Structure 1
Amino acid sequence: MNYTELKLYAPKETEDPLTLALEDLGIAGFAVNDPDDYTELFNKRNAYDWDYVSEDVKPEFEDKVVFTLYLDDTPEGLELMEKILSEADYLGVTDSAIRSVSDDDWKDKWKEWFKPAKVGERIVVKPSWEAYEKQDPAELVIEIDPGMAFGTGTHETTSLCMRLMEKYQKPGDKVLDVGCGSGILSIAAALLEAGDILAVDIDPIAVEVSKENAELNGLADRMTIQEGDLTKGLSYKADVVVANLMADLVILLSAHVMKHLVPGGIYISSGILVEKRDQVRAAVEAAGFEILEIPEDGEWCAIAAKAPAYEA
């Protein structure tokens, strides 16, 4: 089905009356971009509740609010749009923009930028809708459909994790994937010949997406995927723990992860901005780990650390 996207630009002081006017016209669903919201959000970028805020979300205008409406591409929708525009001056609207969109724009546009990519020495990630022929017999190909969960494999944080897994995970290792997202790291662990894998995520949608991707790769019987909050309530002991989270969560996890590792086990963490590297490193070392390396990719870094070779 096609829709008409209508954007209305207005001074900030007209936001409340314009909202009420649109609701009076029977329009309950619309988005409002207020530049003050961006300012408040961006100023929190180094606070606990926001680890990273992209400047790409900067508003179109610093002195105007932008209302975005989607109207059915029908005679009734066209009539409603004409009514809104006819009252635009009265409602305080200073400018407007109109374009046609379709369901396909919503569902599939992002797929144009997700292509097969080599993300490690051997690991290649491909979307489920793209064909790919191995360039080398040694390549390990992961087929992924991220859905609503994080993890296409092409983000720096994920590829950093996989490169470290290629280096430190050994055949037969037990692997714990904390915050599994799309399940991509658990799938990588299986392809790298892990003996047993437990994947956990606090988001039930991520758990379902991980299970679907495990099935897609024919690896569902190689791993257990369950809902959980970091390692709370787990008694699982692994040779490798991998956690692609965010800096503050890695710091929190680091205080508890040692009890889930065998002596000499490997702890791989990512999702860490370079500017927060020293904070996370200090937390990992304080938990008793030896830092093995901290590779960087752009503004992100990951940490590979080793547990003591004896029980604490």
Structure 2
Amino acid sequence: MRYSEVRLYTNQMGLEVVSGILLSMGITDFVTEDPEDLKDFLDKKNSYEWDYVDESVLEISNVEPNLTFYVEYSESGNQILQEFKTSLEEMKKEAKKDGMDYGRLELSVKEVCDEDWKDNWKAYFKPAHITNRIVVKPTWENYEKENSSELVIEIDPGMAFGTGTHPTTTLCVRLLEKYIESPDDIVLDVGCGSGILSMAAALLGVQTVKGVEIDPIAVDVARENVKLNHLDSQIDVFHGDLTKGLDLKADIVVANLMADLVMLLSEDVSKHLKGKGIYISSGILIEKQNQVASAIRKCGFEILEILEEDDWCAIAAKKCCK
């Protein structure tokens, strides 16, 4: 399907006014780029909000404030576009009359095809060995096992969820391979996302895997991936919060989150582990390794080992029984 991509260059005050115009027209799906939003984002209100910012995110600091929305390339879409242009001209007249500064208010309209942007990200997701044994492949790619010992996870993560190829995922799977000892082990995957670690544990032979996730959309994605891999009988994915009334004991807890969340949740992890259970955590930048390891120890764990890859690390710890 063809669309008109409509982009308006303005300033922060103009973004507010134009957003109001679009909402009054019934257009709720639009994107704004504003360097002021980046400043708010970088001014962390909570220590656990983010641990790592990709350099591409910082590029918005040099972007002129703008707003983008799409309308169908059709007669009805053209009517919407003309209505918006009329409102924009009225806005310019009011601004001139009242001495308001809304920036340059320059409009850019170009034709795009949804196939040009909707699925472009898929071109970069190919079958990948995340460990020697485990391969992650997208649903739209063919893959033939190189040997009979390979375990293949097939996923369609959606644009908002991980593909499983990040170093933190690889490190967690390597530790799962090492510390899963029996099919009777119960594995709890905290913040399971698209379900990669839950499915890896199941393919490694665990018969009972619980994936908990606070994002209901991620729960749906993970459940679909579990079903796609025919692992429904082994994996249960549910919406929940480890800190709020989760009644479950596991032999292994795996949490691929971020450093501050790992530290925040470690005490609750201890409550959900059996005996001398194993706690595998990642999403931790190497520069925070010592800080996280210290916090884990304070929650009653012994550090067994720390794996590193690129800028990231994963920590395996054992619960100390009193």
**Is the structural similarity TM-score above 0.5?**
yes
Q: 1:112 to 1:31 in 2, by over 3 A?
A: same
What's 1:216 paired with?
A: 228
Trace 1:202-213 onto structure 2 (pairs within 5 A).
Answer: 202-213=214-225
Decide which moves more: 58-67 or 155-164.
58-67
Deviation at 1:125, TM superposition (A): 0.4
Q: 1:74 to 1:52 in 2, by over 3 A?
A: same
What is the aligned counterpart of 2:267 among 228, 241, 255? 255
What's 1:84 paired with?
A: 85
Deviation at 1:279, TM superposition (A): 2.2
Report if the CA contact (8 A) 2:252-2:278 is conserved.
Answer: yes
Is 2:161 the partner of 1:160? Answer: no
What's 1:196 paired with?
A: 208
Letter aligned with residue 193 of structure 2: G
Distance 2:70 2:237 in 1: 38
Report if the CA contact (8 A) 2:38-2:60 is conserved.
Answer: no
Distance 2:68 2:117 in 1: 15
1:235-256 residue CA offsets vs partner (Å, 9 max, x unmatched): 4322211111222221122112
1:125-157 residue CA offsets vs partner (Å, 9 max, x unmatched): 001121100112211111112236633211222
Q: Secondary structure at the match of 1:58?
A: helix
Deviation at 1:298, TM superposition (A): 2.3
What is the aligned counterpart of 2:284 among 272, 287, 296? 272
List gaps (5 residues or longer) in structure 2.
94-101
Distance 1:182 1:278 in 2: 29
Distance 2:45 2:16 in 1: 28
Report if the CA contact (8 A) 1:35-1:59 is conserved.
Answer: no
1:152-207 residue CA offsets vs partner (Å, 9 max, x unmatched): 21122212111111122223222111111111111100111113222211222222
Distance 2:288 2:163 in 1: 24
Report if the CA contact (8 A) 1:149-1:181 is conserved.
Answer: no
Report if the CA contact (8 A) 1:239-1:262 is conserved.
Answer: yes
Decide which moves more: 39-48 or 87-96.
87-96
Trace 1:133-144 onto structure 2 (pairs within 5 A).
Answer: 133-144=144-155
What's 2:99 paired with?
A: none
Letter aligned with residue 186 of structure 1: S
Distance 2:58 2:214 in 1: 29
Q: 1:152 to 1:15 in 2, by over 3 A?
A: closer
Q: Secondary structure at the match of 1:255?
A: helix
Decide which moves more: 60-69 or 155-164.
60-69
Trace 1:121-132 onto structure 2 (pairs within 5 A).
Answer: 121-132=132-143
Letter aligned with residue 203 of structure 2: L
Deviation at 1:220, TM superposition (A): 0.6
Distance 2:33 2:171 in 1: 34
What is the aligned counterpart of 1:301 among 313, 317, 322? 313
Distance 1:24 1:141 in 2: 49
What RMSD over aligned residues (CA atoms) do the two structures have, in Å?
2.8
Letter aligned with residue 110 of structure 1: W
Distance 2:248 2:27 in 1: 51
What's 1:65 paired with?
A: 65
Q: Secondary structure at the match of 2:119?
A: helix
Letter aligned with residue 55 of structure 2: E
User: What is the number of residues matched between the two proteins?
Assistant: 310
Distance 1:174 1:77 in 2: 54
Q: 1:34 to 1:122 in 2, by over 3 A?
A: same
List gaps (5 residues or longer) in structure 1.
none
